[in-house]
Chains A and B, each alone.
Chain A
Amino acid sequence: DAGITQSPRYKITETGRQVTLMCHQTWSHSYMFWYRQDLGHGLRLIYYSAAADITDKGEVPDGYVVSRSKTENFPLTLESATRSQTSVYFCASSGESDLRQFFGPGTRLTVL
């Protein structure tokens, strides 16, 4: 089915481990985004990408790494997970002319 998917949906890991969250969209949207959502902070932008091989930092990029070798994929890596990175992570995409962002179902990450 067309759309935007995220995997895994739930993840428990330990402090110091590397974790990669996957995001895949089938619309060939140019723009892709990673947000984290925490109580009291709302949605905060971590990284975004305007096209394949073009990425840039958002509001809270520290501790995260992204890549975008293909238009449809935008993985987010936590290089050394910390407890403060426990959160719900949403991936989103939008097209060149349609400015709406469409969100994936989210990944709930717990760092112990």
Chain B
Amino acid sequence: GQNIDQPTEMTATEGAIVQINCTYQTSGFNGLFWYQQHAGEAPTFLSYNVLDGLEEKGRFSSFLSRSKGYSYLLLKELQMKDSASYLCAVRGPYGGATNKLIFGTGTLLAVQP
């Protein structure tokens, strides 16, 4: 089966760095996505990792370790607008259409002044 775990809530201070962890157990793996979702809005794509290592994109970085079933999203120089839910999603080899994703329940990040 598939199982994705991430913390329910986190709090951080404006200007600081925060790391949001995601662990997964899947019967096959073809990549991990991070999405950002502001309250009342649709999820938007942040990053995609399929190989081990760190992918950096501006203030956001995402890391993957396939052997450990582990990923994290690193947000630097936090801004108030980064207050949102961060969703971890795994793409597995489901046969047929392989673009299906399994989402974690999301981590609600609150950035405080």
- Does A105 interact with chain B (Cβ within 8 Å)? yes
Q: Which residues 46-86 of A sit at the B interface, judged by CB distance below 8 A?
A: 48-50, 54, 56, 58-59
- A sample of 29 inter-chain contacts (CB < 8 A) reads A31-B97, A33-B100, A35-B103, A40-B105, A42-B105, A42-B106, A43-B43, A44-B103, A48-B99, A48-B100, A50-B96, A50-B97, A50-B99, A54-B97, A59-B102, A90-B43, A94-B99, A99-B31, A99-B33, A99-B48, A99-B99, A100-B48, A101-B33, A101-B99, A101-B101, A103-B42, A103-B43, A105-B41, A105-B42
Q: Is the interface of A mostly helix, strand, loop or mixed?
A: strand
Chain B residues, Cβ within 8 Å of A31: 97, 99
- Does A19 interact with chain B (Cβ within 8 Å)? no
Q: How far is the CA of A69 from the CA of B87 in the complex (A)?
A: 31
Q: How far is the CA of A42 from the CA of B48 in the complex (A)?
A: 19
Give 18 A-B pairs besides A50-B96, A54-B97 with Cβ atoms closer than 8 angstroms. A40-B105, A41-B105, A42-B106, A43-B43, A43-B103, A48-B99, A49-B97, A50-B99, A56-B97, A99-B31, A99-B33, A99-B99, A100-B33, A100-B48, A101-B33, A101-B99, A105-B41, A106-B41
